[in-house]
Structure 1
Amino acid sequence: MMLALSFLRSWGGGRRGLPVLLAAVLLTAGCSTTPERAPRGKRVDPAARDGAPARWPFDLNQVPDAQPRVEPLRRGGPNKPYQVLGRSYVPMTADEPLRESGLASWYGTKFHGAPTASGEIYDMYAMTAAHPTMPLPSYARVRNPLNGREVIVRVNDRGPFHPGRIIDLSLSAAVRLGVAGGVSPVEVERLTHEEIRNGSWQR
């Protein structure tokens, strides 16, 4: 999506700029999620379109929630301040609660098998997510207020970097929430270590 917007900004008009404008419109129409994310160990072709595979290997609605467990938080590494698209982000480094309401997007084939910001390999069939400032790793409850569905995801990546979007879901998480059709409203709640220890996160 941001690639398409950069094309539009650079378009000066005129007949010679028309092909660039048309390409930008096509790219915008094909965007389902954010291609720009924190630097990773493996470069991904920015021209490749993201999306779902032609065929799913199994029923993604049957993928179980991530199982929360207490994992140590580092002040450096994936939790150090960073910049993307000219904007600065300061990740949380303490085990604190976080609740947000906003838009969710998802990412799939374009990043499948590539390193996440935490160094883990992204698996679009796992119950994971990306968040711009939540400490990595974290566990979060994501709820779709339109249908009442909820999932528990392991947050191990950075993004999304579009205004208004608060979380980028894996394909499986998006399917289970019923938001795989595009950007959708969600409610996000980070699970603290204390909630994981005493089991109060369970509903």
Structure 2
Amino acid sequence: MSVIVSIMLLLSSMKPTETHSGLIQKGKASFYSKRFHGKKTSSGERYQNDELTAAHLSLPMNTMVEVTNLANNQSVVVRINDRGPHGKGRIIDLAYSAAKTIGMLKSGVANVAIRVVGRARSVAEQETAVLFPTNTQLMPMLTPVSNN
């Protein structure tokens, strides 16, 4: 019993993204219609067609996720800023530009793999961030998801 309590205490002390770090989930992705442009998301932000954002049912807001289209192996990194998708059998709703980047506009729905790659920085953290990241800092975002 004490082992279970210890594990629960450890998990509760972790930041939400740490508990999901590297999580890979496979399923179907859809994308927002252009008519949602300017509407409020669950985070309070306004949805923008040209931003690389997405909706997920359970990942914390501002989680950065790599989405790979399994049909063509094209990937994009998006930031979770909304709740959804609300379509049956879907695991993520992408902004229009993210869907375009991974080549799923024509099909409307794609089989994808998603992998948590980090958490977006706050404005204060961004001001002190390195302007030109090294290859080592970029590699976690560039690693492709296997088709297994």
CA distance in 2, matches of 1:185, 1:202: 20
Residues 7-29 of structure 1 deviation map (CA, whole Å, 9 limit, x = unaligned): xxxxxxxxxxxxxxxxxxxxxxx
CA distance in 2, matches of 1:148, 1:109: 25
Match of 2:96 among 133, 155, 171: 171
Match of 1:154 among 60, 79, 92: 79
CA distance in 1, matches of 2:97, 2:141: 20
Is 1:185 aligned to 2:111, yes or no?
A: yes
8 Å CA contact retained: 2:77, 2:141 = no
CA distance in 1, matches of 2:141, 2:52: 17
Q: Which has the higher helix share?
A: 2
Alpha-carbon distance, 1:100 to partner: 0.6
SS of residue matched to 1:120: coil
The ranges of structure 1 where at least 4 consecutive aligned residues each deviate by more than 3 angstroms after the TM superposition are none
SS of residue matched to 1:129: strand
Greater length-normalized contact order (CA 8 Å, ≥ 6 residues apart): 2
Structure showing greater Rg? 1
SS of residue matched to 1:143: strand
Long gaps (5+) in structure 1: 1-92
CA distance in 1, matches of 2:86, 2:63: 19
Alpha-carbon distance, 1:110 to partner: 2.3
Q: TM-score, normalised by structure 2?
A: 0.67
The one-letter amino acid paired with 1:191 is: V
Q: TM-score, normalised by structure 1?
A: 0.50
Task: Spell out the pairing of 1:14-25 with structure 2 (5 A cutoff).
Answer: none
8 Å CA contact retained: 2:54, 2:92 = yes
CA distance in 1, matches of 2:62, 2:28: 21
1:138 to 1:112, Cα distance in 2 relative to 1, 3 A: same
CA distance in 2, matches of 1:149, 1:175: 10
Aligned residues between the structures: 108
Long gaps (5+) in structure 2: 1-14, 120-135, 143-148
Match of 1:201 among 137, 140, 143: 140
The one-letter amino acid paired with 2:66 is: R
8 Å CA contact retained: 1:145, 1:187 = yes
8 Å CA contact retained: 1:142, 1:188 = yes
8 Å CA contact retained: 1:141, 1:189 = yes
Alpha-carbon distance, 1:94 to partner: 1.2
CA distance in 2, matches of 1:133, 1:110: 24
SS of residue matched to 2:49: coil
Q: Once superposed, what is the RMSD of the aligned Cα atoms?
A: 1.8
CA distance in 2, matches of 1:115, 1:188: 24
